[in-house]
Structure 1
Amino acid sequence: METIKERNKGWQNGTAKNITFIVTKDCQLACKYCYLVGKNSKERMTWEVAKATIDYILDHEDEMKEESVVWDFIGGEPFLEIELIDKICDYLKLEMFRRNHHWFNSYRFSFSTNGINYDTEKVQNFIKKNREHLSIGITIDGTKRKHDLNRIWKTKEMEQGMKLKPEDEKGSYEDVVKNIPLWLNQFPNAGTKVTISSADIPYIKENVLHLYSLGIHEVNINCVFEDVLKDGDDALFENQLTELADAIIDGDYYHEYTCSFFSEHMGKPLDCQLQNQNWCGAGMMLAVDAEGNFYPCTRFAQYSLRDKKAWIIGNIHEGINHNKLRPFLTLDRCTQSTQECIDCEVAEGCAWCQGENYDAADTPTVYQRSTAICKMHKARVRANNYYWNKLYRKLEKEGGEK
């Protein structure tokens, strides 16, 4: 089955510029693991800000030489602002054509949505109009039990700072799963993204298999980067991944289905002279909020930060201050990692988020790598080795391709 990476290869021969519009900070849900700590219903992008952003970016074509571009729309929930997004996309297409911009016909509109209003008329009309240039991922965490554990509807009480009792929470699984068939019919190769926090670990195996049963072939899954995991979570995590490995291999799912927890490219030591690139693209990307402020990534906007001030690199009126981007240009594995991380025997595939590094650091710096997921990565490596060893033995026994 063609993967998302393979499907995008034709339009993205080189590196794509990722430009994100934070069109709203509102969402219908109040997901318990959401890193967006400052969501609200007031900060919504206007057309004037959006147009000024587009004009600035397209006016500075010489500074953005990437062959392709991903116009990314996030919230909150981006489809709450579908009318604005539709206007933005129409203007982008016309302006890129009028200017004979090198991104014309080499672009994508990208969305990660909670899927609740996916089937509405306005969203569906937008999809029909832009189908050939769209990437849409719907977030569904797995079974109803697991999904509803975290992805709950927002209430007026929550907006007032009150905490609901578990019995008063309303999950969103049924509101999302009803739209999965329509989504997969329109985007048959689409994948979903699953987030794992401490409470979710016991359900990993059943959740991935449930997503497969819904017809989702690509499950992208990761642990939260924040320091919220508990002692012993790594052992439970390894056990769940081992059981999942058994289920995928014994059930022959590996022929058509993928799960990002299992990868051939992880769990080895790294040579910092040869493999010293930064994991994250912060600084190479560009994000803009409702006020017209620019950021090196959405994780540096104030609504994404718990303890630090927003890292603003400019705005639509004054442009980008490239001096404020300088720290990101020298970021690599070694400039932000401890010696223990550099010398780690299973360093390959160990991920980080630049925004979380900044938020968790002792000082306002991007050069201090957060290591909250260290034990979880090592547990994943052990389970990953189990997966590939078992698959190798099975293929060898069957006389299949090794």
Structure 2
Amino acid sequence: MKTQVVIIGAGPAGLLLGQLLHLAGIETVIIERQSQEYVLSRIRAGVLEQGTVNLLHEAGLGARLAKEGLVHHGFDLAFGTQILNINLHQLLGKEVTVYGQTEVTKDLANARSAAHLTTIYSAENVSITGFDSNHPKVQYQLAGKTHEIDCDFIAGCDGYHGVCRASIPQNAIKEYERVYPFGWLGILADTKPVQEELIYGNHPDGFYLCSMRSPTRSRYYLQCTLDDHVNHWSDERFWQTLQSRLPENLQAALETGPSIEKSIAPLRSFVAEPLRFGRLFLAGDAGHIVPPTGAKGLNLAVSDVRYLSWALMEYYQEKNESGIQHYSQRALARIWKAERFSWSLTNLMHQFPDMSGFEKKMQIAEFDFLMSSESAQRAIAENYVGLAY
């Protein structure tokens, strides 16, 4: 088999890249090691920057998003008993949209299927070679048979544990990482959200986040230890703990019910440099991870895809390699700014096990400054709605 671009990974980054390239007349094959059912069942975040929403509309995927997405004009930061509303619309005239990553993936997968484009699920033993030459190759096994694809480029959208970054020689890549000493215990429940806006909360017992997927489906998180396990958390214990961390005026409004999904996610900041190696590109979680604080993971993957799709379109349509040569530099400039924002908000809103008295005072001072400074609130809002491409 031969194609122009092989995309490794059928998550939102890979599927969106495939859709944008298809609309530009560029041939793609997507290879995914998991089954389609597994990919479409993964529960992930769901706060979309305006730039992400705009790109999904540009890709012809805005109909259900426009109908079901929840437009949010702000969010709350709660610190102890103090609550600060970051009014995105008032500060910037902008907004974000709550629409689950699972739904984004479904829309992308349906569009690719409707266009009869090739996506190979349940591919085993995927390997990539020749990306340091003009003749990259991708091999995989399916139903016991080995297949090979010749291509012009390989897009590694296969996540943190994928084959693409792992195939790069160690001396050609530099990795930066910060592992946080806690995780997030999250549940999904068919209950009415405790309030219309999201709440990021710092409580003496730990961080909490109140989010939603719809007016009748809630997504909540609690800070927990890294050695914790979901089996230690009954639904009753989760609701009681969350209620104890909420501001008093919201405790009575918390609607409880059986959880649909419950999981623990560790938090880390991670960036690999560069993101281009000859004719191999890394995009999304393959090249970087952000803590979910600030909702940047999916949005950063989308911005990578924006830069990469531009670069490949420029190459095929204009015979210009400038975009390809500068992809890594452009993507990383935005990535590091988002990493800074997520790192900063994580440090402000969590209880660290080894925090000194000085560090606790710094958290208080930082929040007090945010409360008193519209300029500081505007900076938070600017980062939250997404920096320009």
Given the two structures, how large is their TM-score scaled by the length of structure 1? Answer: 0.26
Given the two structures, how large is their TM-score scaled by the length of structure 2? Answer: 0.27
Larger strand percent: 2
